[in-house]
């Protein structure tokens, strides 16, 4: 029976890493032909465990919390609010491969706005979960729609997927684009053209 090596650094801020998590990484290393006892790999199971805890920290938060504080004093401003080209990283739920890209998020406020950094926090709250790009796009848009109640919401994401660039078809440089439009950006053609043009699409 192989004894599980638990390195002294296998602790997180929340306590010890469960032994079964460390064992699963060791099993994967053996399966691909490596020796987990090799000097360069001794700390790898603990490092991988801590990395995945960080990659998936979105499960520990409710992105809607970031939209709870709003501002009504905007000097009569009633045009589009847009945060463009927000970088993000996520992981594909099918292969656990990286998804890296950028998102543009816009809304047309009704009577209140939110701090611009909060839009990026909403994106990261959903991105730091196992994802598919289509769902990520829809979740971000719906969260803003439900919590800010604006006239319209538009979210466009373009990203590269490690499951395509590093394995399988191996096509680096291919970008996938997804969009979700709600409210006036969906129903009104002029508003839709305006917001997409501001986003650069």
Residue among 66, 91, 161, 194 flagged as catalytic: 161
Residue among 133, 139, 143, 151 flagged as catalytic: 133
Active site residue 79: no
Active site residue 94: yes
Active site residue 95: yes
Q: How far apart are CA 178 and CA 188, in angstroms?
A: 19
Active site residue 93: yes
Measure the CA dihedral 57/125/60/92, to 10°. Answer: -50
Active site residue 133: yes
Residue among 57, 89, 94, 134 flagged as catalytic: 94
Residue among 56, 142, 160, 163 flagged as catalytic: 163
Residue among 34, 43, 92, 160 flagged as catalytic: 92
Active site residue 56: no
φ and ψ at residue 165, rounded to 5 degrees: -85, -30
Half-sphere exposure of 101 (CA within 13 A, CB side): 27
Q: How far apart are CA 93 and CA 136, in angstroms?
A: 11
**Structure tokens given for 113:** 């706005």
CA distances from 25 to 3, 8, 35, 156, 167 (A): 14, 16, 11, 35, 20
Residue among 43, 95, 142, 160 flagged as catalytic: 95
- Active-site residues, by number, are 92-95, 133, 161, 163
């Amino acid at each position: 029976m192989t004894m599980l090596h638990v390195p002294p650094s296998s602790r997180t801020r929340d306590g010890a890493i469960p032994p079964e998590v460390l064992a699963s990484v060791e099993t994967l290393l053996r399966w691909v032909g490596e020796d987990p006892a090799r000097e360069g790999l001794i700390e790898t199971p603990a490092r991988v465990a801590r990395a995945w805890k960080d990659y998936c920290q979105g499960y520990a938060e409710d992105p809607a919390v970031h939209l709870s504080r709003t501002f009504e004093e905007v000097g009569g401003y009633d045009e589009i609010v847009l945060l463009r080209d927000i970088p993000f990283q996520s992981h594909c739920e099918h292969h656990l491969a990286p998804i890296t890209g950028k998102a543009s998020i816009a809304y047309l406020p009704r009577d209140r706005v939110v701090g611009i950094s909060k839009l990026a926090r909403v994106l990261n709250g959903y991105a730091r979960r196992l994802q598919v790009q289509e769902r990520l796009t829809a979740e971000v848009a719906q969260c803003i729609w439900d919590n800010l109640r604006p006239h319209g919401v538009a979210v466009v994401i373009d990203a590269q997927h490690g499951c395509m660039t590093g394995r399988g078809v191996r096509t680096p440089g291919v970008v996938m684009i997804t969009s979700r439009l709600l409210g006036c950006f969906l129903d009104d053609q002029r508003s839709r053209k305006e917001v997409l043009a501001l986003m650069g699409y």
